[in-house]
């Protein structure tokens, strides 16, 4: 496990790194969030902007973030402190790490509640939810769950517990094993769903909705949503990829791994959209149905297909695992900070972090029942946490990561860590994207969306 310049644990190989980073990237963001955001923001134009953001900002920032982690060899806060020191830059750069830790806690708090709902669906499918299900039945199921503080809390508690249990085992034992068989499985069941969707009445309408680009329907806020979604789905801007970069074995091409991870992640999101929108239209549902969209459509799809109970069960089980391999990366930066800096044991750190995120998550539990009409900055508590973290904190974190890698670090250091030659085409494109394109575009979108 140890290697020549640090005795920090490491991933076994390049493949494990790719699996772990893909495991972090692919999750509820692809299957739950991407479809409902696309639905709420008018379809094709949103998808287009999202794809542009992934390519022009997502991949270069992922390379930058991985590289910072690899050079820093520590948790995001200490990594930023060390690298700022090495570059003789302002020590305040460490607050970038702090913002990431905070964003991770906020995201995990609501992520866990949604993941909890997917756990609940496993139970519902086992007890016959999918037999002769109609739209009214599917809506009643999710409305019932949203109204039940007891059930939401139960599954939220279980999910936080599972996340902390895995993180407690450490990188090699917990994280690697959790991701090795998951992604291919999820991908396969997703293909079954896509095939089913392709045979449904709504297929053409669903495809048109997702891929017909009409910028007239796109507001400045939708552009910010697309940008936020690009960061969210790639796990960028808060140190998750940085911490995985710190476990990267030497000699791995960061450009290649980043491109692979982004490609897999995008593929899963697009396939999820292709699977879901035909069902939406075939059943006369509203694309803008919001966060409950997949809980209304997927059970209907499974209920209508051959061996639906089996596939439905597999799908929700795999989705819970995909959510777990993402949630562990949301909390790993915080855990490794308190372990490395405050000397707590991993166990104590996990218990503490579990209590904090669980408590914050209760606000999201209440968002669909007793607090449903309570407004936090004009939206529900869940909506507020989501907007603050995904649409503000992650893009701000992303800009700062890009600026640090592009402007603060020595060029020779970044080229060395990325293992690409300084005067090659690849390096120069990356440098241009992190120095100019990402900071300027992200700032404009942020300002445009916020004001």
**From the CB of 329, what's the least distance to ligand TRP, in Å?**
4
Q: What end-to-end distance do the CA atoms of the chain give, in Å? A: 49
Please identify which residue in 121, 232, 337, 387 interacts with ligand TRP, judged by CB under 6 A.
232
How many residues contact ligand TRP, by CB under 6 A?
Answer: 16
Contact 449, 223 (CB under 8 A): yes
User: By CB under 6 A, what part of segment 264-293 binds ligand TRP?
Assistant: none
Near ligand TRP in 22-81, by CB under 6 A: 24-25, 27-30
Q: Say whether residue 233 binds ligand TRP (CB under 6 A).
A: yes
Note whether 107 binds ligand TRP by CB under 6 A.
Answer: yes
Shortest spacing between CB 43 and ligand TRP, in angstroms: 20
Question: Cα separation of 401 and 384, whole Å?
Answer: 24
Minimum CB separation of residue 306 from ligand TRP in Å reads: 29
* Candidate ranges 309-317, 325-333, 409-417, 420-428; the one touching ligand TRP (CB under 6 A): 325-333
Of 254, 266, 323, the residue nearest 53 (C-alpha): 266
DSSP 170-231: -IIIIIIHHHTTHHHHHHHHHHHHHHHHHTSTTHHHHHHHHH---GGG--HHHHHHHHHHHH
Which residues are 3's β-sheet partners? Answer: 6
Residue least distant from ligand TRP (Cβ): 29
Ramachandran region, residue 346 (left: φ > 0; alpha: ψ -120 to 50; beta: rest): alpha
**Least Cβ distance, residue 235 to ligand TRP (angstroms):** 3
Task: Please state, in angstroms and rounded to a whole number, the distance separating the CA atoms of residues 129 and 308.
Answer: 11
DSSP state of 306: T
Closest approach of ligand TRP to the CB of residue 111, in Å: 7
Q: What is the DSSP string of 340-384?
A: HHH---HHHHHHHHHHHHHHHHHHHHHTTTTTTT--BTTB-HHHH
Pick from 38, 109, 146, 326: which binds ligand TRP (CB under 6 A)? 326
171 binds ligand TRP per the rule CB under 6 A: no
Q: How many residues would you count in the chain?
A: 451
Q: Which residue carries 């394109």 as its tokens?
A: 437
Which residue lies nearer to ligand TRP by CB, 118 or 283?
Answer: 118
Distance of CA 200 to the CA centre of its chain: 29
Among 84, 240, 280, 362, binds ligand TRP (CB under 6 A): 240
Instruction: Compare residues 186 and 280 and give the one whose CB is closer to ligand TRP.
Output: 186
User: Which residue's CB is nearer to ligand TRP, number 231 or number 281?
Assistant: 231
**Structure tokens, 220:** 């400045």
Smallest gap from Cβ 394 to ligand TRP, in A, equals 6
Minimum Å distance from CB 352 to ligand TRP? 19
Please, which residue, 29 or 273, has the CB nearer to ligand TRP? 29
Report which DSSP code applies to 57: I
Q: Closest approach of Cβ 320 to ligand TRP, in Å? A: 12
Instruction: Find the shortest distance in angstroms from Cβ 107 to ligand TRP.
Output: 6
Q: Exposure pattern of 37-66 as b/e (b: 16+ CB <10 Å)?
A: bbbbbbbbbbbbbbbbbbeebbbbbbbbbb
Q: Which of 45, 271, 330, 402 binds ligand TRP (CB under 6 A)?
A: 330
Instruction: Kindly tell me which of 102 and 154 has the beta carbon lying closer to ligand TRP.
Output: 102
Binding residues (CB under 6 A) for ligand TRP: these are: 24-25, 27-30, 107, 232-233, 235, 238, 240, 326, 329-330, 394
């Amino acid at each position: 496990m140890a290697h020549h310049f640090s005795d920090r644990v490491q991933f076994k190989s390049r493949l494990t790194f790719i699996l772990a980073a893909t495991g972090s990237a692919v999750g509820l963001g692809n299957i739950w969030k991407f479809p409902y955001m696309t639905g709420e923001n008018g379809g094709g134009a949103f998808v287009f902007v999202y794809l542009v953001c992934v390519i022009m900002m997502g991949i270069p920032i992922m390379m930058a973030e991985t590289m910072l982690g690899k050079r820093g060899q520590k948790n995001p806060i200490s990594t930023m402190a060390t690298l700022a020191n090495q570059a003789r830059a302002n020590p305040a750069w460490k607050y970038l790490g702090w913002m990431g830790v905070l964003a991770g806690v906020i995201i995990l708090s609501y992520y866990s509640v949604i993941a909890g709902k997917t756990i609940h669906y496993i139970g519902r499918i086992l007890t016959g939810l999918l037999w002769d299900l109609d739209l009214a039945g599917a809506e009643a199921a999710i409305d019932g769950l949203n109204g039940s503080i007891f059930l939401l809390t139960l599954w939220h508690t279980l999910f936080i517990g599972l996340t902390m249990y895995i993180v407690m085992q450490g990188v090699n034992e917990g994280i690697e094993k959790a991701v090795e068989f998951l992604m291919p499985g999820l991908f396969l069941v997703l293909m079954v769903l896509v095939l089913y969707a392709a045979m449904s009445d709504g297929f053409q309408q669903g495809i048109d909705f997702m891929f017909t680009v009409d910028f007239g329907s796109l507001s400045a806020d939708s552009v910010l949503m697309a940008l936020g979604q690009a960061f969210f789905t790639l796990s960028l801007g808060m140190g998750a990829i940085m911490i995985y970069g710190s476990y990267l074995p030497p000699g791995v091409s960061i450009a290649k791994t980043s491109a692979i991870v982004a490609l897999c992640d995008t593929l899963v999101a697009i396939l999820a959209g292709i699977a879901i929108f035909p069902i939406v239209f075939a059943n006369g549902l509203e694309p803008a149905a919001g966060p409950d969209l997949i809980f209304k459509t997927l059970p209907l799809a499974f209920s209508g297909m051959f061996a639906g109970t089996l596939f439905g069960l597999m799908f929700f089980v795999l989705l819970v695992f995909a959510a777990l391999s993402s949630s562990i990366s949301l909390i790993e930066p915080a855990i490794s900070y308190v372990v490395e800096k405050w000397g707590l044991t991993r166990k104590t750190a996990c218990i503490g972090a579990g209590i904090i995120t669980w408590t914050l998550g209760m606000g999201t539990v209440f968002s669909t029942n007793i607090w449903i009409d309570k407004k936090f900055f004009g939206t529900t508590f869940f909506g507020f946490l989501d907007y603050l973290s995904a649409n503000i904190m992650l893009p701000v974190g992303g800009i700062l990561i890009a600026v640090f890698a592009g402007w603060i670090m020595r060029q020779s250091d970044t080229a060395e860590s990325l293992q690409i030659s300084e005067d090659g085409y690849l390096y120069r494109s990356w440098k241009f994207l992190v120095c100019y394109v990402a900071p300027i575009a992200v700032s404009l979108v942020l300002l445009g969306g916020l004001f």
